[in-house]
């Protein structure tokens, strides 16, 4: 590598959508009793004539020339790709099981075409935890993938429910970290966010995904699966900033025996953040927040992400290049942490 290029830039929360998935989404959107959060999110992107929506739809469906040109333009050497939210989790169970395989095969093909540019995350039919566990195995052994993406809740259900824990068992067994990515808000949470236009990436996504990660922690998932690793974007969905209060109030709540649903766990909530989570800066090209998060979870656990194509901003890359941070830590942030977490071999 030349001295002018002291690290490669690996972006770790980058979205794609096979055209066939858009057709499935169109069918769901044309049905009755459509999930209102899904309608507000994917209904918008698929049908809006706005320049932003049309551009995003085009970029999502391209895993060749358009995307590679944008990566070159912004200086992104490598993308870690995830089926865009909500992925297969909005589908009925049978469609989710069959289409997850199609989407993972589609992604594996793109990685085979551009092995030095793309790495894939395995999509899961969370609706069927046993099939999801099998898909992790297939993704690892047949498709050469080493990480998993789950788009937060599935029809309003959370992974804190032990009925989903076969997924955690498989992820721990195969050493595949799970990227807990946002989804549109579930029905029972949507209204107070949507009526003021704050349900999406501006705020609602972070609130709901942060809640989900916290539910996983307080349910004792990491006591049961201590080697399990998760990844959360958007600067940890603000959880690092909450750490002190979470730790204090968690022990106070447990001791007061106020809720049956919040039982003692082995460690403090922030200990799990430090030991079981990686955090990406997707959507947050902001030096103080990145450094604060590094100070909470350590420089080995904070990674770069762009959130292409939803936040394609080449100038943010330059901004982050100029962060006042040691060369060693900056290389961890942009490159080597991602290589380790996502099992990236070809660069």
**What residues act catalytically?**
307
Member of 37, 40, 87, 182 binding ligand 1DF (CB under 6 A):
182
**By CB under 5 A, how many residues form the interface with Mn ion?**
2
Member of 18, 37, 177, 200 binding ligand 1DF (CB under 6 A):
200
Rounded to an integer, what distance in angstroms lies between the CA atom of residue 103 and that of residue 171?
19
**By CB under 6 A, how many residues form the interface with ligand 1DF?**
12
Residue 40 or 269 having the CB closest to Mn ion: 40
DSSP labels for 60-100? HT-SSHHHHHHHHHHT--EEEEEEPTTGGGGS-HHHHHHHH
**148-151: strand order across its sheet:** 122-123, 148-151, 178-181, 230-232, 277-280, 302-303
Q: How far is the CB of 82 from ligand 1DF (least distance, A)?
A: 8
Rounded to an integer, what distance in angstroms lies between the CA atom of residue 104 and that of residue 294?
32
Rounded to an integer, what distance in angstroms lies between the CA atom of residue 199 and that of residue 216?
22
Of the listed pieces 12-20, 70-78, 106-114, 311-319, which binds Mn ion according to CB under 5 A? 12-20
Of the listed pieces 134-142, 198-206, 241-249, 252-260, which binds ligand 1DF according to CB under 6 A? 198-206
> Which positions from 50 through 79 interact with ligand 1DF, judged by CB under 6 A?
none
Q: Does 85 contact ligand 1DF by CB under 6 A?
A: yes
Residue 283 binds: one of Mn ion, ligand 1DF, none (C-beta under 5 to 8 A by kind): ligand 1DF
Burial class (CB in 10 A: 0-12, 13-18, 19+), 16: buried
Q: How far is the CB of 295 from Mn ion (least distance, A)?
A: 24
DSSP labels for 208-230? HHHHHHHHHHHTTHHHHSTT--E
Rounded to an integer, what distance in angstroms lies between the CA atom of residue 106 and that of residue 26?
19
Q: Mask: binding to Mn ion, 305-334, rule CB under 5 A, as x and -?
A: --x---------------------------
Q: Quick one: tokens of 179?
A: 């990227």
User: What residue number has its CB nearest to ligand 1DF?
Assistant: 201
Residues in touch with ligand 1DF (CB under 6 A): 15, 41, 84-85, 182, 200-201, 205, 282-283, 307, 310
């Amino acid at each position: 590598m030349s001295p002018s290029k002291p690290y490669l830039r690996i972006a770790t929360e980058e979205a794609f959508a096979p055209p066939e998935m858009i057709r499935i989404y169109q069918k769901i959107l044309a049905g009755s009793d459509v999930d209102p959060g899904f309608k507000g999110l994917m209904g918008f992107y698929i049908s809006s004539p706005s320049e932003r929506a049309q551009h995003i739809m085009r970029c999502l469906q391209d895993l060749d020339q358009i995307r590679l040109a944008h990566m070159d333009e912004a200086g992104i050497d490598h993308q870690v790709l995830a089926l865009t939210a909500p992925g297969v989790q909005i589908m009925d169970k049978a469609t989710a099981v069959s289409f997850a395989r199609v989407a993972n095969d589609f992604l594996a093909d793109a990685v085979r075409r551009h092995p030095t540019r793309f790495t894939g995350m395995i999509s899961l039919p969370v609706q069927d935890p046993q099939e999801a566990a099998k898909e992790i195995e297939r993704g690892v052994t047949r498709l050469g993938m080493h990480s998993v993406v789950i788009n937060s809740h599935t029809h309003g259900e959370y992974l804190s429910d032990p009925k989903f824990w076969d997924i955690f068992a498989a992820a721990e067994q195969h050493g595949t970290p799970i990227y807990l990515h946002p989804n549109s808000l579930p029905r029972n949470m949507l209204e107070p966010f949507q009526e003021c236009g704050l349900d999406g990436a501006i705020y609602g996504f972070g609130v709901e995904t942060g809640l989900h990660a916290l539910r996983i922690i307080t349910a004792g998932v990491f006591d049961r699966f201590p080697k399990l690793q998760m990844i959360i974007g958007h600067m940890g969905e603000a959880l690092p900033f909450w750490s002190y209060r979470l730790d204090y109030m968690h022990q106070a709540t447990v001791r007061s025996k106020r809720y049956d649903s919040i039982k003692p766990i082995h460690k403090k909530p922030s200990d799990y953040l430090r030991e079981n989570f990686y955090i990406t800066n997707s959507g947050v090209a902001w030096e103080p927040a990145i450094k604060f998060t590094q100070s909470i979870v350590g420089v080995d656990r904070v990674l770069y992400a762009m959130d292409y194509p939803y936040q394609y901003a080449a100038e943010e890359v330059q901004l982050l290049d100029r962060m006042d941070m040691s060369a060693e830590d900056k290389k961890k942030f942009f490159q080597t942490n991602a290589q380790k977490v996502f099992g990236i071999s070809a660069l």
